[in-house]
Amino acid sequence: MKQPIRSSQTATRIAFVVIIAFVVAQVTWWLVFQRRIVHELTEATLSGWQRDAEFATLLLQHDPELARRVIAQYPHLRLEPNKVSIDAAMLEAFTARQHSRLRMLTFEGPFFVLVVIVSLLIIASSLRTERELKRRQQNFLSAITHEFKTPMSTLRLLIETALYRPMPLEKQRSYLARMERELARLEQTSEQVLASARLEQAESGPRLEAVELNTLVQGVIGRLRAGLEARGATLSVVYSPDPLWVSLDTAAFHVVMNNLLDNAVKYSPGTDKPVRVKLMRRDHLVMIHVEDEGIGVPESERHRIFEQFYRIGSEMTRASHGVGLGLYLVKTIVEAMNGWVKCEPNREAGRGTRFTVVFPERQGSAAWSTDAAPAEVQRGGYENPGH
Ligand code: ADP
């Protein structure tokens, strides 16, 4: 599919160059032609006036009365004691008018070319956007087909093998575990596609309620920890010693954390996959960092990864499952909850990525009860990996 897109791009480029060259040539020719006409008109008028003056002078010598009556009809002629000449003021006004006509033409031509070029640039930019959208939709379609078909083929294969012959209990368990992983993958893909469609159709924003983030994150991590650790993650969480009151939709926040943590594990190669979550407050802002020590995101891609269906063209991204919706969901959801998200290198570890989600602190919330906080939160503490 890439080849037709590239050749249509080249054809568009050639068409634009031809149009611009044609317009420039036409306008240049039109300018030269118009200038020539103006010059010819000026010369014809001036020599006509000159002839009128000579004729009136002759007439003046033979019939002064008739000459005076004729001169009265021609405002460009002026009577002098013994001759008739061209009126200097009329001459000046006429030449000024011709010059201003020439100036107008000199501006009009290039202005027209400029308008054509700007219009072509606008068309080119909208064509580029459309092409990029098409490319991403194609990527999305092939990714989604792959994401649905691969686990289903694996499931079919596992079921067929299991049906084909009886197998020991140990083997059955291992088959079931693999099936469970494939089903989780199917679930994750459908969840992302549905969440994205819901976001696009949603008329009302998320339902925000006052929540204490340390407690909420502890609940989310509690639900996700086993799955992440089964994939090789070493998960640690640093809670804030302060209560972190924010306005959130808890279900939507779950989608955010799930995607960030899933990516942190997915894009960490090797068997050792340290993932750290940190919560803190700074100047009425509440922050959640999700850090990994994986392949990292090149600086040039840091904004683009939040676009819908965008996936970095690296080997590891191609090899890992995904449809390019996770970070788009994260950004859209976080912004709908009045926050923002950013991506930067994990400087502390010297490799990997750090995603930071920021929410404004909720003002005037009820005093946070330390009794309600998890034990680690009360210590302002560090939750050991694996606990
Ligand atoms: P998906 O993971 O389905 O491809 P996402 O929207 O979640 O889609 O991420 C977009 C792209 O950003 C990914 O394809 C990947 O290349 C890059 N990316 C996301 N998270 C990370 C991370 N933690 N480390 C390195 N690259 C990442």
What is the C-alpha separation between 386 and 167, in angstroms, rounded? 33
Encoded tokens for 104: 């107008």
Token pair 């149009």 in the structure block, residue: 19
Q: Is the pLDDT of residue 17 over 70?
A: yes
The residue whose CA has the least distance to atom 20 of ligand 1 is: 263
Confidence of residue 262 (pLDDT cuts 50, 70, 90): very high
Query: Terminus-to-terminus CA distance in the chain, angstroms?
Result: 49
CA distance readout (Å), 41 to 44, 47, 98: 5, 10, 9
Mutate which of 192, 300, 317, 321 to test ligand 1's pocket (most atoms within 8 Å of Cβ)?
317
Residue 119 has pLDDT above 90, yes or no: yes
Output the residue whose Cα is nearest ligand 1's atom 25.
296
Nearest 10 degrees: Cα torsion 354, 357, 360, 364: -100
Q: Which of 247, 291, 264, 281 is nearest to 380 (CA)?
A: 281
Residue 354 pairs in a beta bridge with 291, 344
| Other Cβ atoms closer than 10 A to 146 | 14
E strands in 257-326: 273-282, 285-292
Residue at token pair 């009045």? 338
The pLDDT tens digits for 89-117 are 999 999 999 999 889 988 988 999 999 99
Highest mean pLDDT among 182-191, 200-209, 268-277, 320-329: 268-277
* pLDDT on residue 350: 94
Nearest to 336 by CA among 272, 255, 258, 280: 255
| pLDDT, averaged across the chain | 87
Contact partners, residue 127, CB within 8 Å, separation at least 6? 12
**CA-322 nearest atom, ligand 1:** 3
Tokens linked to 163: 């049906």
Looking at residue 365, what is its pLDDT? 59
Q: What is the DSSP string of 189-206?
A: HHHHHHHHHHHHH-SS--
Structure tokens at 226: 């086993």
Ligand 1 atom showing the smallest separation from residue 355 Cα: 23
pLDDT in tens, 234-261: 999 999 999 999 999 888 899 899 999 9
pLDDT digits (tens, 9 = 90+) for 174-197: 999 999 989 988 988 888 888 777
Name the residue type at position 204.
S
At 55 the pLDDT is: 93
Give yes or no for a contact between 337 and 249, defined as CB atoms under 8 angstroms apart.
yes
| pLDDT higher than threshold 80 for residue 298 | yes
Residue 368: which pLDDT band, with cuts at 50, 70 and 90?
Answer: very low
What are the two backbone dihedrals, phi and then psi, of residue 275, each rounded to the nearest 5 degrees?
Answer: -130, 130
Cβ atoms of residues 355 and 260 within 8 Å: yes
Pocket of ligand 1 (CB under 6 A): 259, 263-264, 267, 292, 294-297, 305, 310-312, 317, 322-328, 353
Is-contact 238 277, C-beta < 8 A? yes
Torsion of CA 259, 264, 268, 274, to 10 degrees: -140
> Chain-centre distance of CA 260, in angstroms?
21
Choice from 235, 311, 314 to test ligand 1 binding pocket (greatest atom count within 8 A of CB): 311
pLDDT band at residue 387 under the 50/70/90 scheme: very low
Q: Which DSSP string do the residues of 58-106 spell out, in sequence order?
A: HHHHH-HHHHHHHHHH-TTEEE-SS-EEE-HHHHHHHHHHHHHHHHHHH
pLDDT score, position 173? 92
Token couple for 160: 């067929």
* Under 8 Å between Cβ of 240 and 279: yes
Instruction: Read off the pLDDT band of 369 (50, 70, 90).
Output: very low
Tokens 């006036």, residue located: 49
Average pLDDT in the 340-355 region?
96
Residue 317 has pLDDT above 80, yes or no: no
Residue 308 and residue 247: Cα distance in Å, rounded? 25
Write out pLDDT tens, residues 30-65: 999 998 999 999 999 999 999 999 999 999 989 989
pLDDT level of residue 198 (50, 70, 90 thresholds)? confident
Report the atom number in ligand 1 closest to the C-alpha of 294. 24
Residue 139 scores a pLDDT above 80: no
CB-CB neighbours of 51 under 10 Å: 10
Could you tell me which of 189, 361, 339, 359 has the C-alpha nearest to residue 258?
A: 189
